[in-house]
Structure 1
Amino acid sequence: VVQLDKVPTREGYTFTGWYADKELTQAITEIKMTSNKTVYAGWEETDVPGMLNGEDHYAYVVGYEDGTVRPGGNISRAEVATIFFRLLQDQVRQENLTTDSAFADVGAGDWYNTAISTMAELGILRGRTPDTFVPNAPITRAEFAAICARFDTGENADDATFPDLAGHWAKEEVERAVSLGWIMGYEDNTFRPDKAITRAEAVTMINRVLQRNPQSPEDLLKDMVTWPDNQDPSQWYYLAIQEATNSHDYERTTGIYETWTQLRETPDWSQYE
């Protein structure tokens, strides 16, 4: 008898269990091996969290003054707070809007004060200590995964984990994000929780949370914003960077994927800085 206790992961989907039949009508937790057997994984599309705007596909990343977007560069804790602040549903943002910072290193005159204060008020952001946020530090993979996980209130899946998460403060939150198909590990089955996350990794994860997933370069538009350091469509992050830096209308194609139909204006976020 084989216990079916392995939890697989799939980008943008939540695992619903193992089944004895392809039609997914006979749920099972174990199988008796009297001959070769096939079991089937059940999946459902992971919903966009209710606090986040998955409907409007606005650009949420801007490039640097030199015209680059730097996919391999780090992204700061303040930048991540600002991105998720912009991606909130308008009503959620307005109802929780505050400039009262709980952190000694986030002052009233700082460009990121409103974003950090509001996201902390929502319980999505936490400091590195009770009274410091360390806004300019590069955010780690564990910190980023934990932020994503806090938008979802569902139960945690068992065993969706990595060996290097044992004893880590973010273990449960990372596992939650993994079980939702939002975050993936590396090919050697590690997560590397304390490694600084790259800008490319961050936008890839955000796009999964929001179901913003063009499937091929043909799903984009020719007159979109482009970047000198994101010109190679064969790079794993090419589509994710383009999705994150262009505001557009879209149509759903199959499953979690989309194709762009028209470019649109990006909101002016300067009022919050």
Structure 2
Amino acid sequence: MRIEKLWLTVGKGGRPGRNITPKGLVIHWTANRSYGANARRNRDYFENHPEKKVAAHYTVDDSEVVQCVPENEMAYHVGGQKYTEKALRILGSYPNSTTIGIEMCVNRDGDFAKTYKQTVQLAAEVLKRHNLGTGDLWRHYDVTGKDCPRYFVDDNTAREFGFTDAASGWRGFIADVKAELARLTDSGSLTAKDIKGHWAEQDIKQALEEGIVSVDESGLFYPDRPATRAEVVAMLMRLDDRILGKIKQ
């Protein structure tokens, strides 16, 4: 999955710059159905309105996934005056310090089915990276009681977005993430089956995790096979995206 890393300014607004150890992944909706309210626009809202002190690690629309905050840093995405008993028991007294947040865009000029699909894929990858499972998926609603994402909380809104009802919509989302997580595990798309013991094993693992290189459908990397010109260009462009992201940080 290609991810655009457009970091928010450290110490400003919703990115305080504090390290976290993720225990859960929280799904949100932007609640902004305006035309053009896509992933980048929502990221820019976080950046340009620091007084709101809100952010998420990712914003997702039908064509792009934008990362706003590194996964090992806190983002102010699930704050509240009070938290549910379950959230306090599992996530601790301040869930922002133990969770990663994904905002799903609902702009009218977007294709929600594609946004949903991208979110499923992203959620599975995030869970896999942190050795979490679908039992660690949360709606914002589950943490604070807020009606977010509303289509997974309110039946009328759920039907607007093509779900039978809110509860079955959320169950379906969890099932889809579980299936994608199983596919990632089976295919080894975030790992490679043929690099164990190779002198560059750790570097290859890191490059896979960062999305700079990838494995084939069989989970093989072929570490000693020459790269084609096209593969070299693709790797350089992905690396360029990463470098630019750090510069903007």
Q: Which has the higher helix share?
A: 2
TM-score, shorter chain, exceeding 0.5:
no
TM-score (norm: length of structure 2) = 0.28
Look at both structures and tell me which one has the larger radius of gyration over its CA atoms: 1
